Each structure stands twice: as C-alpha cells, then as structure tokens.
Amino acid sequence: MVRAMEQFSSDQLYAKVSHSIPAIEWPAFAGDIDAILALKRDRNAVILAHNYQTPEIYHCVADIVGDSLALAREAMQVEADVIVLAGVHFMAETAKLLNPSKTVLIPDRGAGCSLADSITPEDVRLLRQSYPGVPIVTYVNTSAAVKAESDICCTSGNARAVIESLGVERVIMLPDEYLARNIAAETKVKVITWTGHCEVHERFSAEEVRQLRENHPGIVVLAHPECPPEVLAEADFAGSTAAISSYVAKQRPPRVVLLTECSMSDNIAIQYPDLEFIRPCNLCPHMKRITLGNIRHALETMQHQVTIDDGIAVRARLAVERMLEVK
Ligand code: 13P
Ligand code: SF4
C-alpha cells in the first residue's frame, strides 16, 4: 500500500492512532514524527515499513506498508534517492538487490531474523550436493549470501505458486521447516525441508487455539504459515501478513485473532474499530528494534547503509527476480 504522507503534521496524524496510543504518550512521539517527515523531504527519502512495525511507524511515517512480497515489489519501483527499511535486515537487503542504485538504510543493523540465522551459504551448497538436480527454493527470510546459492526465492505469499512454477516433482525449501510443511500439505510437489523456525510463530500451539475457541465463542482464527502445522490445522485461514489483512478487510469477522506478531493486530485494529481483536501476543524482538528514534537518526546521519558484495548480489538478485516473475 503506497501513501502520500508529506502533507500531514504529527497533530493531524494523531487521529489515526488515537485508539492505540494514549494522548498522554503522544508528545513523546510527535517530535520524532515531525522531524522524520521533514527529513524525508530534505533527503528525498521514502520509508518502507513491514506490517509488524508499531502503529506510530506504520500509520504515521511510512510511505509504503505491506508484507515481504509487497515491500520487495515496491522497493523495485522507488524513484526517491533513499529507502529507509523499517523492518528486518533481510528486507533491506532485498530492497538493495532490487534497486541497487538507491541508498538503502536500516535503522538498526541488529534487526535480524531467527530464520535468516538458521542457515548458511555452506549449508545450501552441501544440500545441493546431497540432492543433485533438485531445485532450491529459498524463503526471502535469508541473507543475500544464502539467496545467491538458491535457484529461486519465495515469500509466504507466493510459496505454493513458486514451487509449482518449477514443473518438477521435488524441491528443497529453505529454511523454514513449518512453512515448507504447510505448503507441502497444499501441493503434489514433494518438499524437502530444513530445520529453521521463526522464534515468534513457533510459540503458538494447537492447545492455545482450542483455548481461544473455548474462551471466545465464534472467534475466527487467522494464522501465519510460519506457525507449526498443528496450529494451522486448528485455524480457519492461513496466509501471509497481507493475506491476513485482506481476509479481515473482506470478511469482517466480528471477533478475530491473528496468530502472528503483535503489531499486526494493533495496525489492523486501528483500521477496523468495529471488530473485536483478541490478542495473544508474540513480539518479534528484531522488528521491535526499529523505533521512531532510530529512523530519525538514520535519516539524520544516513546510516546504516546496506551494501552487498557484487559477486553475491548478482546471483541473489537472479533468485529474487525469478520469484517476482512468477504470477
Ligand atoms: P510476510 O511476508 O507474511 O509479511 O512475513 C514476513 C515475516 O517475517 C513473518 O514472520
Ligand atoms: Fe523473522 Fe519471525 Fe521476526 Fe519474521 S517474525 S522477522 S520470521 S523472527
């Protein structure tokens, strides 16, 4: 989703988030928001924010918001000189791969991902040796160096389409074991998995879903496919963060729970104040490293710039571009 933020001041923006940020806390945000809006103009910068960013970032300073797939597609189209990625490091790397002439800033270099940390390029090379000729599909939640060893990337929004586009009987899907098993359950293609897990989504359990249904009659359960398969088996719908948003927009479930990162419910609940969101919350500590303060600092100092070794970038870009060609 692309927005025009420039015409707003922090006072006008408060109306958007007043349901989730108490008025007494607002002055602590307003100064940074006004400074960021001005810095974006001075630096000719845009802010891309993932759906897991906190409401004051998502609703008040981001120009483009979305899931990993949408952010990748939008990053490619950016004409501004500077992209600030309010998200985690692999998302900033993907933006740099797809729009290499731009300055891409990540406000905190430590914003990683347990999935990206679960696999190395050497692991991928060894897998290729173990399964000669089997295509390697790599989740975007990986480093550029891992993408460079892969045949094609995918996100949670297009994983099945990517796998089926290859026209083969077997694929290796890295590194998220649960996403791979959840996709394998939907397709005839045999999927060889790795042992990576998302530290946020692996904490949801089937028992928790059963309890939610007992305690909140009529609740609609929406889950991210990084959750364990037994959780998805208990859910009403599974999809990427964008697919979860679309489900809520179209179906308007009166009482709903999103089995994903906390800020996702905060951001959507602001848009649908008539719906009841039950919030058993799991925070992503990496996403939460990004704050208004460090976004402001990034724009003031033009740090931290994302760079990718040319030899890696050429091969990693191919894997991401192949993914974007899949309809
Ligand atoms: P989406 O691509 O669904 O936004 O997911 C990204 C992510 O990091 C989920 O944990
Ligand atoms: Fe990685 Fe999970 Fe955080 Fe997404 S929510 S960035 S997959 S650790």
From the CA of 154, which ligand is nearest?
A: 1
Could you report the per-residue pLDDT of 98-132, keeping only the tens digit for each?
A: 999 999 999 999 999 999 999 999 999 999 999 99
**What's the confidence (pLDDT) of residue 8?**
78
Which atom of ligand 1 is closest in space to residue 260's alpha carbon? Answer: 10
Mean pLDDT of the chain: 96
Which residues, 6+ apart, have CB-to-CB distance to 26 below 8 Å? Answer: 10, 14
| Residue to probe by mutation, ligand 2, list 85, 118, 138, 141, most atoms within 8 Å of CB | 141
Distance (angstroms) between ligand 1 centre and the Cα of 313 equals: 22
Q: What is the pLDDT of residue 6?
A: 60
| Atom number of ligand 1 nearest to Cα 113 | 8
C-beta atoms surrounding 110 within 10 Å: 11
Q: Whose CA is nearest to atom 7 of ligand 2?
A: 198
Distance CA 15, CA 83 (A): 26
112 alpha carbon, closest ligand = 2
Q: What is the mean pLDDT of each run of 10 residues along the chain (327 residues)?
A: 72 90 93 96 98 97 97 97 98 98 98 98 98 98 98 97 98 98 98 98 98 98 98 98 97 98 95 94 96 98 98 98 96
Name all residues whose Cβ lies below 6 A of ligand 1: 51, 67-69, 141, 155-157, 198, 224, 226, 240-241
Contact 160, 186 (CB under 8 A): yes
Ligand 1 center to 179 CA (angstroms) = 11
229-259 pLDDT tens trace: 999 999 999 999 999 999 999 999 999 999 9
pLDDT value at residue 81: 98
C-alpha of residue 116 to centroid of ligand 2, in Å: 9
Q: Which atom, in ligand 1's list, is nearest to the CA of 239?
A: 3
Nearest-angstrom CA–CA distance, 1 and 166: 29
Residue 42 pLDDT: 97
